[in-house]
Chains A and B, each alone.
Chain A
Amino acid sequence: MIHFHRALRTFGAGALLLLLLGAPGPAEATPEFGRRWNAPSCNTCHTVAPKLNERGMDFLNRGYQPDPNLNQEPQPTLPLSVWVTQHYDDQIPAGKTNNYLGKIELISGGNIGQSVSYFAEWRVLSLEAQANGSLRDRSGRFEDLWMAWRPDQSWTLQAGQYRPLFQVEPGRKLSISTPLAFDTSLEGETVRGDARITSLRAFSTNLRNPSVTVGYQSVHGEKAMDGLFHYVTLAFPGEISLPLNKAARVNASNEFEDRAKGVVAETYWRDGFNSLGAHAYVGTSDRLEIVGVGEWNPAKDLYLTGTLGFDNRKNRPTRVRRSLEIEWLPTLADDTWRPGLGFRVEDQSNDNRKPAYIPYVVLSAPNDQGWSGLLQLEYRGQASNERLRLDLSILF
């Protein structure tokens, strides 16, 4: 109960801050894309940031450029956005509670000419709570850092550091935790005495790797994001990083191994918010993972995502993973407030855990030409792994 009251106080403080942000006032700063393309608000591209709406998906699939019909003229602007997050994390069974500033991220993205796009996310502050309640410091690591070349409307060549997944991007989820289907690790070959390299040899689709991808769109729809897409990614163990302190030099050292950890092949069909696809990872150490993903938008403001997959590892039992997520994100006539409710149930076989039931609440405001606050509250109901988390973010 004490934990709940503490979370409630933090939630109350966050809600009050969002109320203040939501009060009408002049925009002091705007994120890069909003400023560059004169987008009227965050909701131009997001249902609730960071989840994209159809305009946002179209913009992304054009290599961070709007549909030429929109007559949007690029404006000169500082190519930078900042994302700051305060975390509250209560690992209930262990009685471990953390309330800390966990993320300061510098983000830059856009297009260079008509056919090249890039995206860079540098975490100058990167802390995360561990199972024992301590904070792991990885300040200075890069999340995404990539360039893509689209010589025509069908082909894409991408290189850099990123997740090998294109149908859905776990980074644009509204829950705080990443769905199990994308976040289960397949351990690679162990390097004795080097836990860092050993961990980088592991694979999960949520993990960003130094990679090269070839993409091809075989069927085109009316909108840029609609059609049939195919990607093949070659992923390497490593992490691009500029560690900023002593702990980060251990936890987030700059590493690269030139022996690939495997290949990820993905294919999916998309029509607006609806999509159906699968990806397969075939890797070193006899690792295999196949996951199917479906997204369905059965009614306005209602979004369902289902996953089903399995993996095989050397001398380990096969694990089957499944999850179902439902989100209700009502779009209000007033762009200032964007609330949302979500619920996910997920389970994995052979992990000695019961299914997890994860309800969450999100609220963004004031969505004012691109600067906004975001509040995410998530409870994880799972035997011996109960958890309450709250993130309060400002993006400008």
Chain B
Amino acid sequence: MRRTIATLALLLALLATAPVWAAEAPADPELDRFVYSAVLEGLNELRPPHATVDRVLEEDSEGRPVSFIPGCPICMPAREAFRAYRAQPEPGSPTSGALLESLGSEKDLERTAALGRLVQDLVTRRIAASGWSDAEAEVWAQRFQSAAAEGQRQLSAHQARGVEAYEMMWSCMICDGASRACKRR
């Protein structure tokens, strides 16, 4: 009995200390891989400086990413791609430009909006290179739509908890960017 109570107490303690946004297995692994590859390939071509990527990957005091919505099926693989890019050596001649400047902005909304535009561009390129038929594109558009709806649910849940970084967002801008890329195919 004591052992059971101790085990339960330990489990409860673990649950209480675990971040509420702890990563889960993606609901749509294929979409997860698609977004991850699209963003990583794009970053390797774009070659943003590590300082900019560090800003994008910043976390708040509770270890929550400030530029990505935890639990969002589109944000999470995009974030993993940024982390994978950051794990590589810094490119010798990093690029610059307005988009990269916004990506490195201190303002949460400006930075996240720039991420949304970047993801839109990269997903658009990936779709163009995929050679999908109209029927396949339709299926993928629905998958992105469903993932974006989940992203919106996650955003609402985090806003309800009062997370400051997401306070001014109307919707998940990375999801919006990916969804727009599908619609504009």
Query: What is the interface of chain A, defined by CB distance below 8 A to chain B?
Result: 37, 39-41, 43-44, 54-55, 58, 66-67, 69-72, 222-223, 300-301, 331-335
Contacts and interface: CB of A to CB of B under 8 A. Distances in A.
13 contacts: A39-B170, A40-B171, A43-B156, A55-B167, A67-B109, A67-B168, A69-B112, A70-B109, A70-B169, A71-B176, A72-B170, A222-B107, A331-B160
Given A55-B168, A300-B162, A333-B156, A71 B116 contact: yes
B113 A70 contact: yes
Nearest to B149: A40
B173 interface: yes
Residue from B162, B169, B170 with most neighbouring chain A CB atoms (10 Å): B170
Nearest to B168: A55
Contacts of A333: 156-157, 160-161
Contacts of B161: 333
Contact of A44 (B117, B170, B176): B170
Contact of A71 (B156, B157, B173): B173
Interface in B95-142: 107, 109-110, 112-113, 116-117
Interface string B161-180: 11000011111010011000
B167 A54 contact: yes
A56 to B, nearest CB: 10
Interface of B: 107, 109-110, 112-113, 116-117, 152, 156-157, 159-162, 167-171, 173, 176-177
A335 B170 contact: no
Contacts of A70: 109, 113, 169-170, 173
A344 B162 CA distance: 25
Nearest to A54: B167
Residue from B110, B156, B167, B173 with most neighbouring chain A CB atoms (10 Å): B156
B70 to A, nearest CB: 13
B113 A223 contact: no
A166 B85 CA distance: 49
A71 B111 CA distance: 12
A39 B116 CA distance: 17
B95 to A, nearest CB: 22
A54 B109 CA distance: 14
Nearest to B157: A333
A-B pairs, 9 with minimum CB distance: A333-B157, A331-B160, A69-B113, A300-B162, A69-B109, A333-B160, A69-B110, A335-B156, A44-B170
Contact of A58 (B162, B168, B176, B177): B168
Nearest to B173: A71
A40 B168 contact: no
A124 to B, nearest CB: 31
Contacts of B152: 40
Contacts of A300: 162
Given A40-B152, A55-B168, A331-B160, 11 more contacts: A40-B171, A41-B156, A43-B156, A44-B170, A69-B109, A70-B113, A70-B173, A71-B173, A222-B107, A301-B162, A335-B156
Contacts of A55: 167-168, 170
Contacts of B170: 37, 39-40, 44, 55, 66, 70, 72
Contacts of A39: 170
Contacts of B113: 69-71
Nearest to B106: A222
Contacts of B177: 71
Residue from A44, A67, A69, A331 with most neighbouring chain B CB atoms (10 Å): A69
A34 to B, nearest CB: 10
Contacts of A223: 168
Contacts of B156: 40-41, 43, 333-335
Contacts of A66: 170
A334 B173 CA distance: 20
